[in-house]
Structure 1
Amino acid sequence: MMGIRKPSKCLREVWDMKRGILCILITGILLLAGCGQAADPEAVSGRAAQIAQMLRESKFSEVLAQGDAAFQAALPEYQLQQAWCQVALGLGGYREIVDTSITSQGGDAQAVVTLGYEKGGLALTLGFDREMLLTGLWVKSADVQLAAATPTPLQSGIQEEEVTFAADPALPLSGTLTLPDGQEKPLPAVVLVHGSGQSDRDEAIGPNKPFRDIAHALAAQGIAVLRYDKRYYTYPEAGTALDSDLTLREEVLDDVAAAVQLLRADERIAPTQVFVLGHSMGGMLLPAILAEDPDLAGGISMAGSLRPLWEISYDQNQELAKTIEPQLNRQQAAVLQQQMQQVESDVAVLRSLSASMLGNSETLLGIPVGYWRSVEEYRGDRWIDTATQPLLVLQGEADFQVFPDTDYPLWQQALDGRDNARCVLYPGLNHLMMPSSGRRDTGDYQFQSTVDTQVTDDIAEFVWENVG
């Protein structure tokens, strides 16, 4: 049999691109049941490696097919997917199996497979019966330190250097400035602004690094690019200390302003030709960023929205519920219905602005009300009319996190009649502006890809069109 923990709530990552749905709908990591003695440890090890590979390749239905009847009945596919992706996607690219240990008793066996990734590891525990069918699965983070991978050589014609800057002197941030070789005059430059969650400078998710792709592609076309590690990626304890006092100002906006000033102070950069590109939540904040700094040359929203985060999260949960409901038994469906009722209730409070009657430390959708107040303050539709600089809006048609049939038309309507704004919808591209595998879940991000060249070409063209 399999034990399942109660659903957990995540703090301040409602629109996290690494999860894509409200964490209150994600059931906790799955608990191993059986352990025992297998006749052939090598066979168990090989079977465990096979299942680990299926998980890495997002073949969750195939994993379930390896289980006994009780395993399959207890574990919906969506639950396995979310448990795996919640642990694995933030670790970067997969490197190797570090260790496999086998224990056994009677006719059953347990395998613990430790997997190494760029940024750490995870421990996958699998239970097998004497027929080598899965009886349990448990995945959790593991402390794995691998030797640093040999850096991928930069393409010819570009160079990179490490930079440091700080909006808060106690919390300096590290970043990478990518430049074209052989510059003869001050360059236009772009600052890259992350989505929600605690991202590194490459905005790495699984094996994909969209910000690195963009930086290299733009530098190859003569444009400098600054990307940096997000504040609470570098200092998670600082975000925890703020607790309910954390807002978008500390999480994002102050650091964007400091990054822009760093570029303006660099003699290699044209100070009047600094642009900001915001991805996901960064795109939502782009109108406020542009309005607060009218000297910015322009902005690029990539998979962003003018709606507040709670509306995005609500739609994501609605789509998830429709997708997973056919997989659930009666008891699981009842739990899902209860969770969705709570989502409906919390979103109703946020929509009615009655959250203003609550204290900062109270929570809605698992997020402190103080944070939601900052979301309300900086929501894109409140700032778009005062953000008068040139604007480029990019959206993937296969995006399942920010909806092309809802969010993209809102940009078109808001920018209608502006001759310095343009919207582009790309067939087949997902939330990372990479070709979609066809999946409409976070398993799509486990397939290694790169940002589509048409996207980076359009960004470069926009920048060069709008430099004085």
Structure 2
Amino acid sequence: MDRKTLFRIEMKKYLLFLFTLFGCSVGFAQSFEGTWQGSLTIQGMELPLVFNLKYDGGWTGNMQSPKQSNAKMPISKIKASADSIYITVDPIGLSYAGKLSADKSFIDGQIKQGGLNAPMKMVRQTASNAVKSIELVRTQTVNAPYPYDALNVNFENTVDKVTLSGTLTSPKEKGRYPAVILISGSGPSDRNSSFYGHEPFKVLADYLTRQGIVVLRYDDRGIGESTGDYKLATTGDLSKDALAGLKYLRKQANVDPKKVGIIGHSEGGLISLLLAGQRVAGLDFIVSLAGPALKIDSLMILQNEAVAKSVNQKVSQQEIQRIKRNYKIAKSDMSTEKAFAEIMANLKDIPGSQTPEFADQIGVLITPWYRYFLKIDPVPFIRKIKIPVYAAFGGKDIQVTAPENAESLTDNLPKNSKSVIKIYPEDNHLFQPAKTGAVAEYPEIPVTLDPTLLSDISNWIKKL
């Protein structure tokens, strides 16, 4: 219908149409108001999420993860239209899109964060079904006032035009000190690398700074106060962010220009190995915490087997071959659409694998980050490292298994009297003293970082 025709609509009829539309929208808005809760299962661990939604001419709300923290995070955007709702929590890169059931008793939708793309049904929270917040016992909390200087800073990745926001901690006394930049593991992380009420990077920075080491930690791109889009970032992009931080750190007046290094965890440890192997200027040493030292597709096979074992399951040889085929497809130069179709075809024998819900979960395999990540082989880089390396692995780590990765470093890292490769027998992937190393234990452990590890890293850096 053209514009002239629209203007000829009778005013009474037009106003009635607007009133009906407005009344429908308000009705559904009222239906979405309230407290909703859903649950995800990640590597055998149940993770409840709670959304509190309020409409008063405009939407406001907050989100809580009761088993992780008592904190309520403000929701960045809520958009409700008819029976559909879209929610984003920008600081952690999370979004939820759902549709209200006909009887308005539940919302059926999809939740996304980083590589996660999974179905999540939400029901109204009542006194009887409410998930209770856990009592988080954390033995290494760090609170102000600090016996050192802590400044909020910004630095630029000029290549990608990204501004990284972080915290620089330094000894108060004048002088030149060793300095490190902290690089987080895979998945969107804030500057403290927060998880389940723990803040490992804040604990690490606090310990090292008290020992006379300058520390820079920062929000990943697109997370917290940093600009950019984490969802589109590959390991290569995150490496450029780390290089920008390294450059910024070297410019500080209280930093010893001959003792500037990287401490990276998991993917961050991998990045430290790759940059050291490229012999980038201004990098004097690295500390790799559970950093992969094997071809990533091989590492992921080991991870699949270890994670399955941790929940009393076993991956059959047939399943391993299917996983390898998926990785081969994801690593190829096929278009995203072609790769997705090939992976779905490879999974056709699995009951229920051709549903939209299953397809959404498989989508992580064709994200830019995952396809780039699977292609990485750190071994050629490790063989070219000339600077000192401190490599630590958790003996109960099921994500970056210690025996195979430590052996790869032992075999391929050039000899250096200052380098150390050490396994902490009782530690999990996060370097918490653990019973089994299973992911489900992470929130239950009160220790954030193994105190022996903290002491070892600090002493090693100071002796360089």
What TM-score, normalized by structure 1, do the two folds share? 0.62
Q: 1:156 to 1:96 in 2, by over 3 A?
A: closer
Q: Which has the larger radius of gyration?
A: 2
CA distance in 1, matches of 2:390, 2:243: 20
Q: How far is 1:341 from its partner?
A: 6.2
Which of 433, 438, 441 aligns to 2:439? It is: 441
Q: 1:462 to 1:79 in 2, by over 3 A?
A: closer
Instruction: Indicate the residue corresponding to 1:171 in structure 2.
Output: 162
1:298 aligns with 2:278: no
Instruction: Indicate the residue corresponding to 2:254 in structure 1.
Output: 268
CA distance in 1, matches of 2:370, 2:125: 42
Q: How far is 1:82 from its partner?
A: 4.4
SS of aligned partner of 1:231: coil
Q: 1:422 to 1:111 in 2, by over 3 A?
A: same
Q: How far is 1:412 from its partner?
A: 2.0
Q: How far is 1:424 from its partner?
A: 1.4
Instruction: Indicate the residue corresponding to 1:359 in structure 2.
Output: 335
Instruction: Indicate the residue corresponding to 1:16 in structure 2.
Output: none
Provide structure 1 residue ranges, at least 5 long, that are not aligned to the other structure.
Answer: 1-48, 56-74, 99-109, 113-121, 140-150, 328-332
Q: How far is 1:449 from its partner?
A: 2.1
Instruction: Indicate the residue corresponding to 2:356 in structure 1.
Output: none
Q: How far is 1:97 from its partner?
A: 13
Alignment coverage as a number of residue pairs: 343
Instruction: Indicate the residue corresponding to 2:295 in structure 1.
Output: 308
CA distance in 2, matches of 1:165, 1:192: 14
Instruction: Indicate the residue corresponding to 2:80 in structure 1.
Output: none
CA distance in 2, matches of 1:97, 1:346: 36
Which of 256, 259, 266 aligns to 2:242? It is: 256
Task: Map Cα deviations across residues 257-291 of structure 1 (whole Å, 9 max, x no partner).
Answer: 11011111111112221110110011112222123
Instruction: Indicate the residue corresponding to 1:118 in structure 2.
Output: none
Q: Which amino acid aligns with 1:93?
A: S
Q: Which amino acid aligns with 1:318?
A: E
Asked if structure 2 preserves the Cα contact closer than 8 Å seen for 1:203 and 1:209, the reply is yes
Query: Mapping of 1:174-323 within 5 angstroms?
Result: 174-182=165-173, 184-234=174-224, 238-240=229-231, 242=232, 246-250=233-237, 252-292=238-278, 293-323=280-310
Q: 1:324 to 1:450 in 2, by over 3 A?
A: closer
State the identity %.
Answer: 23
Query: Mapping of 1:370-381 within 5 angstroms?
Result: 371=369, 374-375=372-373, 378-381=376-379
Asked if structure 1 preserves the Cα contact closer than 8 Å seen for 2:293 and 2:409, the reply is yes
Q: 1:395 to 1:180 in 2, by over 3 A?
A: same
Query: Mapping of 1:279-428 within 5 angstroms?
Result: 279-292=265-278, 293-324=280-311, 342-349=322-329, 355-359=331-335, 362-363=339-340, 366-368=364-366, 371=369, 374-375=372-373, 378-415=376-413, 417-428=415-426
Q: 1:349 to 1:442 in 2, by over 3 A?
A: same
Q: Which stretch of structure 1 is more off in the superposition, 435-444 or 267-276?
A: 435-444
Task: Map Cα deviations across residues 113-137 of structure 1 (whole Å, 9 max, x no partner).
Answer: xxxxxxxxx9975899xxx8x8xx9
What TM-score, normalized by structure 2, do the two folds share? 0.62
Q: Which amino acid aligns with 1:203?
A: S
Query: Mapping of 1:115-130 within 5 angstroms?
Result: 125=123
Q: 1:127 to 1:89 in 2, by over 3 A?
A: closer
Asked if structure 1 preserves the Cα contact closer than 8 Å seen for 2:250 and 2:282, the reply is no
CA distance in 1, matches of 2:327, 2:121: 36
Asked if structure 2 preserves the Cα contact closer than 8 Å seen for 1:194 and 1:280, the reply is yes
Asked if structure 1 preserves the Cα contact closer than 8 Å seen for 2:154 and 2:164, the reply is yes
Asked if structure 1 preserves the Cα contact closer than 8 Å seen for 2:290 and 2:392, the reply is yes
Task: Map Cα deviations across residues 15-37 of structure 1 (whole Å, 9 max, x no partner).
Answer: xxxxxxxxxxxxxxxxxxxxxxx
Asked if structure 2 preserves the Cα contact closer than 8 Å seen for 1:437 and 1:444, the reply is no
Task: Map Cα deviations across residues 48-89 of structure 1 (whole Å, 9 max, x no partner).
Answer: x9xx9xx9xxxxxxxxxxxxxxxxxxx9x9877245499977
Query: Mapping of 1:63-212 within 5 angstroms?
Result: 81-84=45-48, 93-95=69-71, 125=123, 153-154=143-144, 156-168=146-158, 170-182=161-173, 184-212=174-202
Asked if structure 1 preserves the Cα contact closer than 8 Å seen for 2:269 and 2:287, the reply is yes
Q: How far is 1:315 from its partner?
A: 2.2
CA distance in 2, matches of 1:405, 1:111: 47
CA distance in 1, matches of 2:67, 2:227: 16
CA distance in 2, matches of 1:349, 1:303: 27
Task: Map Cα deviations across residues 199-239 of structure 1 (whole Å, 9 max, x no partner).
Answer: 00011111111111110000010000000000132468734
Q: 1:380 to 1:340 in 2, by over 3 A?
A: closer
Q: 1:342 to 1:285 in 2, by over 3 A?
A: same
SS of aligned partner of 1:402: coil
CA distance in 2, matches of 1:123, 1:370: 27
Q: How far is 1:455 from its partner?
A: 1.0
Q: 1:325 to 1:188 in 2, by over 3 A?
A: closer
Q: How far is 1:434 from its partner?
A: 1.9
Q: Which amino acid aligns with 2:445?
A: F
Provide structure 2 residue ranges, at least 5 long, that are not aligned to the other structure.
Answer: 1-36, 51-62, 75-104, 108-119, 133-140, 344-361
CA distance in 2, matches of 1:415, 1:174: 33
CA distance in 2, matches of 1:206, 1:159: 27
Q: How far is 1:441 from its partner?
A: 1.9
SS of aligned partner of 1:367: helix
More helix by share: 1
Q: How far is 1:416 from its partner?
A: 6.5
1:462 aligns with 2:460: yes
Task: Map Cα deviations across residues 418-463 of structure 1 (whole Å, 9 max, x no partner).
Answer: 3231111112112121222545124423433221221111111121
Instruction: Indicate the residue corresponding to 1:17 in structure 2.
Output: none
Asked if structure 2 preserves the Cα contact closer than 8 Å seen for 1:415 and 1:421, the reply is no
Asked if structure 1 preserves the Cα contact closer than 8 Å seen for 2:270 and 2:292, the reply is yes
Q: 1:285 to 1:95 in 2, by over 3 A?
A: closer
Q: How far is 1:310 from its partner?
A: 2.8
SS of aligned partner of 2:399: coil
Q: Which stretch of structure 1 is more off in the superposition, 204-213 or 402-411?
A: 402-411
CA distance in 1, matches of 2:436, 2:312: 20
Q: How far is 1:166 from its partner?
A: 1.3
Question: Cα RMSD over matched residues?
Answer: 4.4
CA distance in 2, matches of 1:213, 1:396: 18
CA distance in 2, matches of 1:295, 1:236: 25
SS of aligned partner of 1:191: strand
Task: Map Cα deviations across residues 127-167 of structure 1 (whole Å, 9 max, x no partner).
Answer: 99xxx8x8xx999xxxxxxxxxxx95336532211010110
